[in-house]
Amino acid sequence: MALRFEVLGRFNRARAARLTLPHFLCETPLFMPVGTQGTIKGLTTNQLEEIGCQIILGNTYHLALRPTSELIDELGGLHKFMNWPRALLTDSGGFQMVSLLHLADITEKGVTFQSPVDGKPMLLTPEESIEIQNRIGADIIMALDDVVKTTITGPRIEEAMYRTLRWIDRCIEAHKRPHEQNLFGIVQGGLDPVLRDICVRGLVDRNLPGYAIGGLAGGEDKDSFWRVVAQCTAALPEDKPRYVMGVGYPLDIVVCSALGADMYDCVYPTRTARFGTALVPEGVLRLKHQAMADDTRPIDPTCACLVCKNYTRAYIHCLVTKDAMGSQLLSYHNLYYMMKLSRNLHSSIVEGRFPEFVCTFLQKMFPKGDVPEWVCNAMEVAGIDISSCCSS
């Protein structure tokens, strides 16, 4: 195992920890920006360090296509290739195949798909996914799982969960660098508590360095979403990191952290920036709106980032969607916001003021007190009294 996970503080289920990885000492809860091709669109690695980014996520599928894992390996691994001194996590490539290639076919052997390069059928097996990730060299690598949308029901969910458990053994067997790279298993099972429980227990029996909760953030209702997270975090080991995949809305991160999750990733903060939307404590600010054209305030007057210190809403409105600089500035601000949120979650738990932090967060986002019912339900289970910020 190439990680250490030390819990520094708790509030009921929420925890703040120090996660020591081969390339960086991280503090959780933490958000990981997605750098598909080994880059966060429009930002340099220096800027990412500057705003406090701890782990970047790379997509195995995209990197294997271009520039290829062999080349990355030859050039000294992804850290060196992209000039990123801190931690990296790579996904298994399975999700991209299912989401990008409508022609993917999953069998016991692996995922068969048509090569986007020449149209020939290709097979990604658990063994090959790990081999590619071993070459790329990230601090955390993900097992290949059988991905099913949560909105699907019936026997396919059960089949995928049991296959995910069979594939984890093939991944463990294929993993050649366990002392330098941490293999995380992924809990599947759709919205079925019985299947989720079987999967959690099977993965915990394998004693992996960390565990991810997969198959969420795919269109299921929020009530089902938080209940799966709550169930999995309650059953996963106390002394290992828990990673909720594909979660990037600030509200979801606060709720999942209250329920005992530690790590998150999503394209949302950078993707929404490219559409001209900024993340602010009140929710979002759409810079494309005509009302912004003569607004001389910063995006967020309470934000200390380089963008908020130097540029007005009017200026960014003028750039947005017309000039690459617009999406670069908004991406910088949005990731700064996410890193600050991560730091605030960590420090509020360590300092014993997590409920106050949650209430302040919710009051800014829902000034009328109309906190969604699912958030109220989740916070009740998390043991956090938010009655002061709810009108109902």
Query: What single string gives the DSSP state of each residue in 232-264?
Result: HHHHS-TTS-EEETT---HHHHHHHHHTT--EE
pLDDT of residue 95: 80
Judge residue 47's burial from the number of C-beta atoms within 10 Å of its C-beta, 0-12 exposed, 13-18 middle, 19 or more buried.
Answer: middle
> Catalytic annotation on 145?
no
Alpha-carbon gap, residue 15 to 7, rounded angstroms: 7
CA distances from 366 to 239, 343, 348, 359, 369 (A): 34, 22, 20, 10, 5
The C-alpha atoms of residue 29 and residue 11 are separated, in whole angstroms, by 13
Residue 147's pLDDT is what? 86
Active-site annotation holds for 91: yes
> What 3-state DSSP class applies to 30?
strand
Helix (H, G, I), strand (E, B) or coil at 55: strand
Exactly one of 91, 139, 252, 300 is catalytic; name it.
91
Catalytic residue among 145, 252, 262, 265: 265
- Identify residue 168 by its one-letter amino acid code: I
Which residues, 6 or more positions from 253, have their beta carbon under 8 angstroms from its beta carbon? 29, 31, 247, 264, 341, 345
Q: What is the pLDDT of residue 39?
A: 84
What distance in Å separates the CA atoms of residue 126 and residue 172, rounded to the nearest whole number? Answer: 9
The pLDDT of residue 392: 60
CA angle 208, 181, 157 (to 5 degrees): 45
Give me the average pLDDT of each 10-residue run along the chain (392 residues): 95 98 98 88 95 96 90 96 97 79 82 80 92 98 90 90 98 98 97 97 98 90 97 98 97 98 96 96 98 98 98 97 92 98 98 98 97 97 94 68
Query: What is the DSSP-derived secondary structure letter of residue 209?
Result: S
